[in-house]
């Protein structure tokens, strides 16, 4: 029998009841007023002088937040400064060619961020370059998630909304003694409620940045500096004697070792390169290469690469000098890259292979390609490759 209107529960009410069952009665370990005051005193005293903290320009703040996703502050600063000099407004970025954008982002990683930022800029340019001033409206822009929308809304527009990223999840997990999974539905609900209760409504932007600063500099994943933490007296994880156990460590995927052969083939100032058509790094230029198992014999992998160039592209390459190996990491893949100088002896270059001057402006090169070319240039300048193509022992040891 159907329930009467008096007893039926709406989906929204059912969700509220479920959250109430999942959340503890008291999340914060102490009154919010004292905790937020201590946190803001810490921020006013200890905050780092970062370029995006010297502006209230919403566009500049959005650029910084997008760049800082899964990338360190030290790595981001030079990119941020160059990017805004070149594209100081959303409409300026919206008009940029894709190759220009990818070249400027090259080395920063997670390139889909750049494409989403340009799509968001094009949307904002339609409104006269004015970013929407609320979290909900910012969330409607392409590629702008919950955290980024809240961070920009609070910092640039002073909207009292909590921004919860990985650093904040760790700080709140330790403060509240939450040892569950912050990425589970119940974990997200718990930590977001804690962040909302703790938020300072008068200084929401500074408060959100204070939590991030605390997580980045004091409440670190390993070896947290509890003795300098402004929240130490109330912290449940510290009281337990095992702060690094909060939140519960995630099971990491097994590391996969890969051996990668790369061909560095020159014609004057130009280099033979391949334009990627698929993710990751779609649109970027890389050296022709081939992957093998970590246990592959390097010489055998090199010959497989030569055979692949002949079979797929009709190019016959003769190997010359070896370059020092380098290592590269993508997610849980640990890649050892073995580059060889080669000479094109037969065949005509066609797409997706192209002759490219890597020194020309706005060349979107992959990070590995840039590193190999830099090492090759260093080797030429220092004369560190001998006649039979073997790199000296000391060079190889540093790779």
Please tell me the distance from the alpha carbon of residue 68 to that of residue 89, in angstroms, as a whole number. 19
Q: Are 310 and 392 in contact (CB under 8 A)?
A: no
Could you tell me where the DSSP H helices lie in 274-366?
Answer: 298-313
What sign results for the dihedral spanned by CA atoms 243, 247, 253, 257?
negative
Please tell me the distance from the alpha carbon of residue 144 to that of residue 135, in angstroms, as a whole number. 10
Query: CA–CA distance from 200 to each of 29, 205, 208, 220, 267 (Å)?
Result: 17, 9, 9, 23, 61
* Strands, E assignment, the chain: 256-267, 270-275, 285-286, 289-293, 316-322, 326-330, 333-346, 353-356
- Phi-psi category of residue 146: left, alpha or beta, with phi > 0 → left and psi -120 to 50 → alpha: alpha
Residues in the chain, how many?
Answer: 399
Please tell me the distance from the alpha carbon of residue 373 to that of residue 339, in angstroms, as a whole number. 10
Residues catalogued as catalytic: 65
What sign results for the dihedral spanned by CA atoms 277, 282, 285, 286?
negative
């Amino acid at each position: 029998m159907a329930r009467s209107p008096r007893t039926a529960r709406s989906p929204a009410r059912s969700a509220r009841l479920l959250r109430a069952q999942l959340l503890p009665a008291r999340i914060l370990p102490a009154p919010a007023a004292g905790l937020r005051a201590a946190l803001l005193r810490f921020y006013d005293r200890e905050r780092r002088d970062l370029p995006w903290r010297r502006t209230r320009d919403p566009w500049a703040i959005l650029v910084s937040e997008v760049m800082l996703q899964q990338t360190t502050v030290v790595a981001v600063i030079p990119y941020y400064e160059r990017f805004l000099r070149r594209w100081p407004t959303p409409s300026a970025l919206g008009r940029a060619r894709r190759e220009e954008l990818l070249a400027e982002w090259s080395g920063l990683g997670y390139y889909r961020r750049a494409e989403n930022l340009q799509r968001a800029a094009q949307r904002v340019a339609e409104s006269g370059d004015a970013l929407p001033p609320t979290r909900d409206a910012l969330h409607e822009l392409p590629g702008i998630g919950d955290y980024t929308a809240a961070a920009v809304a609070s910092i640039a527009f002073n909207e009292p909304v909590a921004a919860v990223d990985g650093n904040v999840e760790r700080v709140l997990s330790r403060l509240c003694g939450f040892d569950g999974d912050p990425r589970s539905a119940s974990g997200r609900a718990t930590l977001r409620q804690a962040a909302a209760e703790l938020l300072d409504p008068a200084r929401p932007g500074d408060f959100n940045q204070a939590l991030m600063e605390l997580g980045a500099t004091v409440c670190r994943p390993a070896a947290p500096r509890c003795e300098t933490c402004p929240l130490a007296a109330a912290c449940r994880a510290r009281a337990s004697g095992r702060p690094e156990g909060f939140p519960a460590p995630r099971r990491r995927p097994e590391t996969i070792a890969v051996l990668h052969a790369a061909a560095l083939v020159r014609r004057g100032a130009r280099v033979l390169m391949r334009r990627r058509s698929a993710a990751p790094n779609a649109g970027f230029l890389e050296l022709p290469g081939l992957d093998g198992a970590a246990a592959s014999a390097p010489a055998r992998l090199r010959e497989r690469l030569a055979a692949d160039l002949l079979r797929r592209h009709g190019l016959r390459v003769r190997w010359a000098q070896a370059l020092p190996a380098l290592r590269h990491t993508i997610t849980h893949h640990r890649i050892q890259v073995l580059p060889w100088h080669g000479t094109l002896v037969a065949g005509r270059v066609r797409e997706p292979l192209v002759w490219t001057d890597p020194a020309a402006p706005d060349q979107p090169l992959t990070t590995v390609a840039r590193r190999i070319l830099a090492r090759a240039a260093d080797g030429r300048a220092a004369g560190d490759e001998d006649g039979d193509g073997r790199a000296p022992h000391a060079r190889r040891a540093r790779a």
